Each structure stands twice: as structure tokens, then as C-alpha cells.
Amino acid sequence: MCYPENFRKEIEKLYSNGLTQKEIAEMLNCGIATVKRILKNSINYDTIKQRKKEKSLENHKLAKLKFKEIEKQKQEEEERLWWGMVEQQRVHAQMISKKRRISTTQLVELSLSQYIEIDGKLKYIDPAHKPKDLPKTYNVHNIILPQFREYANEIESEKWNSKVEEEALK
């Protein structure tokens, strides 16, 4: 089929400017098949297509490098976290080791979940299953009591939330 020269040149010009075939067809109010047919018969079609392909490959390489960089950052972050945990385990092991004795205060702090507060003292919940190194009752000083109250408040709020959620679901 023969198309006017002006029409062909305009399509070639728009295509070389980087517009897609669909955009050109919408812009000129013609079918995509018409645009494809004119472009394939064009002299510059192969060079423009090759240039677009090279640009696409370059963009792909850049995206690939960016992805690798992000993955590398994630890996480094995971390694930092892992080594931080290892260091924390080492410190805890040193605290609990036989060479260095752990104080009663530290023991109670580490097991706050096993105590309840009664009259300003912490009492062990289940004395029958209490470890030997933990006291049955402990006079709370200013350091442990606020920690215990925060812990107890968190647990109570979780219980309250779960009861409210259960009632809402019924």
C-alpha cells in the first residue's frame, strides 16, 4: 500500500525521537499496523531499532548493578546483626559463667516474668518449681520495680487487647 511521503516522514521522525509505535498511532489517528508497516519499510528502521536495543541493554545493566548493590547492603546489614548477636551472647555467657558470679538483682531482672508484685515486694509465682538460685521474695529497690511494672503493664494490655478482640469477633 502506498502512503503519502509527508505521513511516512512524520512517523519516522516521531519514532526516531523515541516514541513507541502505539503512541505514534494514537497521535496521528491511525492503526498500529499501519505505523509498523511504514517503519519496517523505512531505511533507518534497523539503525533506530539497534540504538533502542543498546539503550535497553544499558538500562538493564544499570538496574542489575543497582539490584546487586541493594542485595549487598542487605547482606552486610544481616552480618552486622548476626555479629551483634554473637557479641551479646558472649557478654551474657560471661555474665553467667562460673568465674564471674551474677548478683541476685541481676537474676531477678533476668526473670521478671516469674514474679508478681505484692506490697512492694516481688514474690515468685510458683515456689514449687522455683530454681534454687532465685529468691522466693525480693525487696524491690528503685531500679527493678519500674521495670517490673512496665513489663506487667505490657502483659495486661496484651491480655485486654486479646479479650476485646475475642469479644469483637463473636
User: Block means of pLDDT (10 residues each) for the chain, length 170 residues?
Assistant: 80 84 89 87 80 92 95 92 80 63 64 68 68 60 61 69 66
CA–CA distance, 114 with 31 (Å, rounded to integer): 77
The mean predicted confidence, pLDDT, of the chain is 76
In this prediction, residue 62 carries a pLDDT of: 96
Which among 78, 155, 77, 72 is positioned nearest to 117, based on CA atoms? 155
Spatial strand order in the sheet of 137-139: 115-118, 121-124, 137-139
